[in-house]
Amino acid sequence: MATANIPTVPKTTYEDRLHRVQTALAERGVDWLLLGPSADLFYLTGFDAHVSERLNLLMVPRSGDPSLVVPLLEAPNVGAAGDLARVVSWADHESPMGSVASVVTGDTGRVAVGNHLYSAFLLRLQDTLGASAWIEAGPIMRDLRMAKDAVEIELLEIAGRANDVAWEAFLQAGPLSGLTERQALQRLVDLTLAEGVSSCWGICASGPNAAAPHYSTGDRVIQPGDSVIFDWGGPVGGYYSDVTRTVHVGEPDEEFRKVYEVVLEANQATLDAVRPGLACQELDRTARRVITDAGYGEAFIHRVGHGLGLEVHEEPYLVEGNDLPLAEGMVFSDEPGIYLEGRFGVRIEDAVVCTGEGGRRLNHSTRDLVVMG
Ligand code: ZN
Ligand code: ZN
């Protein structure tokens, strides 16, 4: 895949995001937003800061220019974010809290702190700044990040395509029987990396291991009679794909075929239910109804989906109890599953974008039951 075809987020978009976050701070009566290295920081500035024991901190006041406190040795990595925020660097022999204090003049007021800032930094900031209140920045950032713009959706689509092309190649790449889970996953990861994702994570769970949704890939040898779940993805321009496909090694029995059909039906019913204004929990209920009606309700042991973007799991969560309405531009996974302990598991997962006309899948590799050697 040619990198020239990967769209970039224009500077005006970052300026707009910073402006919108300042509006949100004003609406909520918050004086400062503090973000460490995180998807939130990347979203607002494009700065992919390194998480370490050295403090990197974006400081956004309710009005006026933001500042970016960075270690001196990392200042060259700030890139275009240096045009969006005043860069304040600190050397290794200095305290970063001196730099932080130099940015704030007068009363600190109410401070919102990003969810991913180390607690050690937060404790030192609390000693340094003497704010009147400390609150979570998560809800503020969530409201900005949940609905994706056209460039973000394009990046998610390109990442999804990498999974799709890799999967079709994987199905042609030879039998699974005899490979360990780790070897099979490596084959899929290599094919996906070749399609342009900048890194690739994944799970391969075979046989009874497939009954654990977040199984950690091991050295079990895949053999005839196994169902094998592959759940994997990687980022393009920072935006992640997340896809699951389940195959069967050798001819499956009747029950496996039935379970596979039920999961496929739940996946399709969830997609069909997507529309702006619908509460997130309704998608979970839709999938659960299909699976429960087929007699497998107890075996669907997780929510039907999660938001997808700069993080593999982000808001909105499609789960019972979440009455947040879906909105155009939200991107989330549609991943019902059935897990029969000690026997097998089936999960089918695609990324879906909510449009004005309903749900649109970002993944198009086959969802039909595939029998492999
Ligand atoms: Zn997944
Ligand atoms: Zn997922």
Does position 29 have pLDDT exceeding 80, yes or no? yes
Question: What is the 8-class DSSP label of residue 164?
Answer: H
When pLDDT is averaged across residues 310-332 and rounded to a whole number, the result is 98
Is residue 41 within 8 Å of residue 70, measured between CB atoms?
no
DSSP tag of 247: E
Number of Cβ within 10 Å of residue 72's Cβ equals 13
Single out the residue of 315, 357, 358, 359 nearest to residue 334, CA to CA.
Answer: 359
Q: What does pTM read for this prediction? A: 0.95
Distance CA 336, CA 301 (A): 9
Residue 4 has pLDDT above 60, yes or no: no
Homologous superfamily, domain 11-145: Creatinase/prolidase N-terminal domain (3.40.350.10)
Hey, how many other C-beta atoms are within 10 angstroms of the C-beta on 143?
Answer: 14
- 11-145 with 150-372: one CATH topology? no
Q: Can you say whether residue 321 is alpha, beta or left, with left for phi > 0 and alpha for psi between -120 and 50 degrees?
A: left
Whole-number Å distance, alpha carbon 348 to ligand 1 midpoint, is 9
Instruction: Report whether pLDDT(2) > 80.
Output: no
Q: Rounded to 10 degrees, what is the CA torsion of 318, 324, 330, 331?
A: -10
pLDDT 10s digits, 124-151:
999 999 899 999 999 999 999 999 999 9
Residue with tokens 């379970």: 259
d(CA 366, CA 373) in angstroms, rounded, equals 17
How many whole angstroms separate alpha carbon 308 and alpha carbon 306?
A: 6
| CA-based radius of gyration for the chain | 23
369: number of Cβ within 10 Å: 16
Ranking 1-5, 84-88, 104-108 by mean pLDDT, the lowest is: 1-5
Q: Is the dihedral of CA 41, 43, 47, 52 positive or negative?
A: positive
Give the pLDDT confidence score for residue 3 in this predicted structure.
Answer: 55
Per-residue model confidence (pLDDT) at position 147: 96
What separation in Å is there between the alpha carbon of 203 and the centre of ligand 1?
8
How many angstroms separate the alpha carbon of residue 180 from the centre of ligand 1? 20
Angle 88-90-95 from CA coordinates, rounded to 5°: 125
Going by C-beta distance under 8 Å and a sequence separation of 6 or more, which residues neighbour residue 349? Answer: 231, 242, 243, 244, 245, 267, 333, 334, 335
The CA 231 to ligand 1 mean position distance, Å, reads: 5
Ion ligand 1: residues, CB within 5 A, are 231, 242, 244, 349
Domain boundaries, the chain: 11-145, 150-372
Phi-psi group of 64: left, alpha or beta (phi > 0 → left; psi -120 to 50 → alpha; rest → beta): left
pLDDT in tens, 252-281: 999 999 999 999 999 999 999 999 999 999
Q: What is the third-level CATH fold of 150-372?
A: Creatine Amidinohydrolase (3.90.230)
Q: Is the pLDDT of residue 348 over 60?
A: yes
- The pLDDT tens digits for 165-201 are 999 999 999 999 999 999 999 999 999 999 999 999 9
* pLDDT tens figures, 235-260: 999 999 999 999 999 999 999 999 99
> How many whole angstroms from 332 Cα to the centroid of ligand 2?
8
DSSP conformation class of 147 = B
89 alpha carbon – ligand 1 mean position (Å): 39
Spacing, Cα 211 to ligand 2 middle (Å): 16
Return the residue matching tokens 């390109």: 158
Residue-wise pLDDT for 65-95, tens only, equals 999 999 999 999 999 999 999 999 999 999 9
